[in-house]
Structure 1
């Protein structure tokens, strides 16, 4: 599909040129429009990339939507990889869960820079109270592709856990998404 799309218009980029510049197809379909235009892609080409990505995200999210998140962990990780792994800036996402760990809401609360996203525990807990959430899973991506938690990630998680616990909201996990991999604070013994 990528090859067909990129070779369909005269003067447009070739798939091989894009993949020589970007490390993966995930990086290509999440690249900024201005980056893609330098390869000769048209607005139509870029819109098609966005559509493909949106379809993939919606399909992955559908697998998560109607089942408890904790008993559907692999589908949840697949969705998070699809939605976040190749973003060029960090984003902080929160999954708000009910008492049975069903998804109430999935929200990107913050967007940051290439290596930092501010997180405000007060705002996370405030939103959880508004949604009547009983539990949370927080997620952020590392644009570098390496999901290893930083010291700041660990401290932020401790602060989030303390704020949530004070209001009887369970923080089930903090997941860092990398390129095709992830780090779970719970699995690492950090939560």
Structure 2
């Protein structure tokens, strides 16, 4: 029998073995590129996707970075069609929704680690700055989460008046500011500190408390409250 004829059987056997290992051991039983393979199986039904999974990990730096990569960059990788890229973005959206569900309508104080995990999942690998606001009620329950502005690689325009206006519209008693640094370094900049102080001043005039300002990097975050900046 020729090599060409045996390849489909080999690929099918590999898929079944990998699925079985994942079924028995879960995410701890597979490597990042293998988890990516499991996703690619759905989008590319009859092909060995291991090389593609490894290429994607090498190109973007890791499993989360692959999911967070823009479609236009994903499709630059040989073997990634528009449909494959869309499949990856669907998985990313599902992961963000799952993280969000763990914090929405829950007291922030008792779900702080989940809150940080959600912020990292939704922002850590963005290529441009996003500025979002988490709105809390009198019991510190998260009632809304909104991206207020989208900026450039190193700057996001933020307008304190609009922040406070939106908090009043939602009936929020407190807010948490969150933005990312695409550079990966979450150290607050001078502009970050000045902008935060302006928002705190505008919010306090209307009895709205700013609990914290979180800056999300690639693998870590900075908290204005922990740093003594609030």
Q: Under a length normalisation based on structure 1, what TM-score does the superposition of the two structures give?
A: 0.94
Counterpart position of 2:199:
160
TM-aligned CA deviation for residue 17 of structure 1:
1.5
Cα root mean square deviation, aligned: 1.7
1:120 is aligned to 159
Paired position in structure 2 for 1:76? 115
Q: Give 1:1-191 correspondences, 5 Å limit.
A: 1-4=35-38, 5=40, 8=45, 14-39=52-77, 40-191=79-230
Query: Which is richer in helix?
Result: 2
For residues 75-113 of structure 1, give each alpha carbon's deviation from its aligned partner in whole angstroms, at most 9, with x where no partner exists.
Answer: 100111111111111000000111001112100000001
Are the counterparts in 1 of residues 99 and 117 from structure 2 also a CA contact under 8 Å?
yes
Q: How many residues align?
A: 191
Unmatched runs of 5 consecutive residues or more in structure 1: none
Q: Which runs of 5+ in 2 are unaligned?
A: 1-34
My pick for the range that moved more, 90-99 or 25-34, is 25-34
Q: Which whole-Å CA distance do the structure 1 matches of 2:71 and 2:36 have between them?
A: 16
Cα distance in 2, alignment partners of residues 140 and 42 from structure 1: 31
Moved runs in structure 1, 4+ residues, more than 3 A? Answer: 6-13
Q: CA deviation at 1:71?
A: 2.5
Q: State how far apart, in whole Å, the 2-side matches of 1:17 and 1:91 are.
A: 28
Change in Cα spacing, 1:143 to 1:9, as seen in structure 2 (3 Å) is: farther
Separation (CA, whole Å) in 2 of partners of 1:186 and 1:9: 52
The separation in 2 between residues aligned to 1:58 and 1:141, in whole angstroms, is 18
What SS does the aligned partner of 2:218 have? Answer: coil
The higher-RCO structure (CA 8 Å, 6+ apart) is 1
Task: Assess if the C-alpha contact under 8 Å between 2:96 and 2:122 holds in 1.
Answer: yes
Within 1, Cα distance between the matches of 2:47 and 2:111? 46
